[in-house]
Structure 1
């Protein structure tokens, strides 16, 4: 990692974690280093890279918030077979000390990344001559979008559903890089602040370079990543669609989802790209990525979680073994997700364990084109069922060979598709919460866990209550 990126990340982490009695009670000892970092246009790019790197780490979206903790809560894994470390988490026991440690680490990690985004906003927004106008807009646009993305996931984890409890106490929304204690807003105020940041980003990114290219047409996917492995204009619009859906604003969700699709900067999977030797297959369907995070170690993370390990003369079982995968995909060998994300030899989860890293750099999908089709199917259901069927069938046409179109659609059908689509990406649990649905475990004894704030709302970390008087 570039030394300047490391320095920037250290500044943000120290700034966040040094407090004992205040949110951010710290003096930045090395202002010279910070001024040097933001003294060149390249420094701003390195600062943004620092935020993306923090987000892509295993402590956040590289593992914990995707294929690990959040997918444990979604019950993708064998309830009776996962490792003891997840015993309390799988039962939604958030009062357990181990669970609280996990929750605190997530809280701190996300706010550290937010501090990084706020520091960029502070410097880029000041009256300086370092950045020309187009570059300044691009840098600020990405930083505002990242601040919104990070706060939104904190809202999804730590707040009750905005439709049910709009006036309930929410989270601190950190609008500046400084020493002040951010106020705690209501849930609906939190969500509006996310929208405000995204609207600002949308304006600033109006001339985003991605508007001039079609990343999916680029043979070199590393080149395409320069446009999608960062928060871009269409990532902002896609996130606005996601936020609107959670808010119950289906009109806005439809508007933004359609804008992303109609821009034609991304395309659904072409089966021709899957009918190739293993080293030529893009297992993550990168042409659909609207925003993703690069991390060369994703295969190590998935091997550590999902694969057994031979130790001497014995074998350690996988920490997080999948369950009922054949049932999830209806045993359909025509479903490209089923036959490509799981080994046909031994059933291992190979979605992130790719053998062709040079051609398809490992990355975690953050927002995909497929989600826009699912949003539209859900929003049109009951309003224009024909349109809803068209969107879900279009997606399935690019997932299942010889797909038989659904002529009847229910929310349960859509949720089945959501479960198939976001495996290993940390989105299913949020969908259950948004729709107030019970969660089916693989345990014959436990069965279905009924929906409630007990399983859908993380308690604010005790250390935050102690140091920030959040009670």
Structure 2
């Protein structure tokens, strides 16, 4: 892949290890003279992931969610004028406005992969003594880079190749694991999945010594610890807070042992269509996360992913009053971006405005709640008045009418501290997905009572106490309930397209028919001029 490892200026000035020389003013050889150079390059790849073209928008709340029929594209020009987004909403992949966006996504993803490969190849042969924490730090960097490589490949596979249940045996995307690699070989879906899982299994073992240590486990003991370095009393990392090397905090922004395990659960579930036992492997990984127990030095026990808490916005009647909209307690991993320093707040406001008092050319990501019946059960019971995913996690801008936008991306006007805590995190992995994986596997094993117990417990915490779903007797019936829950849970988080595709689930169309995506709809064409 003919590209150089991206050298970027760090966005977070408080962490010295993030300071990276500007491209053109340093060579990779100079950068890797010290162990801190490897830290900087790793951070640079994470920063690239957070760009709009990837997980800062298009693979988060942007293009991929338009692909899923999640947004209403039949609106006034002043609300949505982008021909590319309208084409994405119609899955018109050959549209001349959309094809450059798809190509840019493809190229940017492989650019990140190339940077990770360069890092892996350099760090794997290094002397551990070059790193501040020796072998553990060296392995941690290599493990995170491998996980990053696997994670991006998995999303490329889910976009640009048929789902395993529809595998036609043809080769689609390349799995690139060398640097540089100009003529990458395209591989079959199953081969790519095997490579992804191999990388993730290796990565998990490489990062494990830190993340399960007394010190490292405290960095993941809660959402506040993972994302805000607000460590829990009694953990070793809390006791030694003054000695903390910032590189070993913020585990929610990195591929920790738990984030890699969650990605493995996702990959094994995707592979389940080839061999039923992979669903059990997926459940095993998901169970490990949900049931994770951390024991501190003083024997206090923490369960970092067990409980869900929505108190920050459960009773907030106005968007400005809400807090913890990122729900960091059930967030395993997200990538970080300082939207203020990168000048992107105004861009976010054009998609998620607080008010709409004048005619303007906005690009509103309007959730198509009515067109998709999101807040009606499959038995046609309207739950919109009770489900907090509707009453609290959707909002209508002032001066707008019937325009429901995701509160997850609301740009606060007054509390900029809370605004930046929220909008700087771009979610990648949640415990809700792990719960769905466990429930789906139980349903596949005909344990429908156990599957619905999980789903109904989640619904109760989301305002639907007393609204339990009836236990169904077939997997097809369960799948419909599962998809409806996911439609509510993953609004503007980039997961629905992949869910519909993996399951072959029915999707409601503009003519009110419900049918699965065709192959032409579910497989995004690979850019004709790949030029990796």
TM value normalised by structure 1: 0.86
Equivalent residue number for residue 368 of structure 2 = 323
Q: Distance in 2 between matches of 1:322 and 1:272?
A: 24
461, 464, 468: which one aligns with 1:405? 468
167, 182, 191: which one aligns with 2:184? 182
Q: Distance in 2 between matches of 1:357 and 1:193?
A: 43
Residues 18-167 of structure 1 aligned to structure 2 (within 5 Å)? 33-81=27-75, 82-85=80-83, 86-128=85-127, 129-131=129-131, 132-165=134-167, 167=169
> 2:71 touches 2:89 (CA, 8 Å); kept in 1?
no
241, 248, 251: which one aligns with 2:280? 251
Is 1:381 the counterpart of 2:443? The answer is yes
Is 1:366 the counterpart of 2:412? The answer is no
Equivalent residue number for residue 390 of structure 2 = 338
> 1:60 touches 1:106 (CA, 8 Å); kept in 2?
yes
- The alpha-carbon distance between structure 1 residues 366 and 220, as it changes in their structure 2 partners (threshold 3 A), is closer
Deviation at 1:357, TM superposition (A): 4.9
> 1:175 touches 1:182 (CA, 8 Å); kept in 2?
no
Q: Distance in 2 between matches of 1:42 and 1:223?
A: 21
- The alpha-carbon distance between structure 1 residues 255 and 449, as it changes in their structure 2 partners (threshold 3 A), is same
Deviation at 1:44, TM superposition (A): 1.5
The CA RMSD over aligned residues, in Å, is 2.8
> 2:220 touches 2:251 (CA, 8 Å); kept in 1?
no
- The alpha-carbon distance between structure 1 residues 451 and 280, as it changes in their structure 2 partners (threshold 3 A), is closer
In the TM superposition, what whole-angstrom CA distance separates every residue of 1:13-50 from its partner, at most 9, and x where no partner exists? xxxxxxxxxxxxxxxxx8x6212222222222211111
The alignment partner of 1:463 has SS state of: coil
Equivalent residue number for residue 521 of structure 2 = 455
Equivalent residue number for residue 291 of structure 2 = 262
> 1:308 touches 1:316 (CA, 8 Å); kept in 2?
no
> 2:436 touches 2:455 (CA, 8 Å); kept in 1?
yes
Is 1:2 the counterpart of 2:10? The answer is yes
Q: Distance in 2 between matches of 1:433 and 1:143?
A: 28
Deviation at 1:5, TM superposition (A): 6.8
Stretch deviating more after TM superposition (180-189 or 411-420):
180-189
- The alpha-carbon distance between structure 1 residues 348 and 450, as it changes in their structure 2 partners (threshold 3 A), is closer
- The alpha-carbon distance between structure 1 residues 268 and 70, as it changes in their structure 2 partners (threshold 3 A), is farther
Is 1:350 the counterpart of 2:407? The answer is yes
The alignment partner of 2:98 has SS state of: helix
> 1:266 touches 1:369 (CA, 8 Å); kept in 2?
yes
In the TM superposition, what whole-angstrom CA distance separates every residue of 1:188-215 from its partner, at most 9, and x where no partner exists? 1000000000010011011233534444
In the TM superposition, what whole-angstrom CA distance separates every residue of 1:115-148 from its partner, at most 9, and x where no partner exists? 1111110111013342210101110110010000
The unaligned stretches of length 5 or more in structure 2 are 1-8, 12-16, 231-248, 273-277, 293-302, 376-381, 399-403, 473-477
Q: Distance in 1 between matches of 2:99 and 2:21?
A: 28
In the TM superposition, what whole-angstrom CA distance separates every residue of 1:191-244 from its partner, at most 9, and x where no partner exists? 000000001001101123353444426479521670111111011111111111
Equivalent residue number for residue 434 of structure 1 = 502
TM value normalised by structure 2: 0.76
Q: Distance in 2 between matches of 1:150 and 1:164?
A: 21
The unaligned stretches of length 5 or more in structure 1 are 12-29
Q: Distance in 1 between matches of 2:508 and 2:355?
A: 28
- The alpha-carbon distance between structure 1 residues 57 and 267, as it changes in their structure 2 partners (threshold 3 A), is farther
Residues 291-310 of structure 1 aligned to structure 2 (within 5 Å)? 291-297=333-339, 300-307=346-353
Q: Distance in 2 between matches of 1:334 and 1:299?
A: 31
Equivalent residue number for residue 222 of structure 1 = 228
Equivalent residue number for residue 240 of structure 1 = 264
Equivalent residue number for residue 171 of structure 2 = 169
Deviation at 1:266, TM superposition (A): 2.2
- The alpha-carbon distance between structure 1 residues 273 and 79, as it changes in their structure 2 partners (threshold 3 A), is closer
- The alpha-carbon distance between structure 1 residues 290 and 9, as it changes in their structure 2 partners (threshold 3 A), is farther
Stretch deviating more after TM superposition (327-336 or 254-263):
327-336
Equivalent residue number for residue 456 of structure 2 = 393
In the TM superposition, what whole-angstrom CA distance separates every residue of 1:295-335 from its partner, at most 9, and x where no partner exists? 23375444222449869x63445443222269423443332
How many equivalent pairs are there?
444
The alignment partner of 1:451 has SS state of: coil
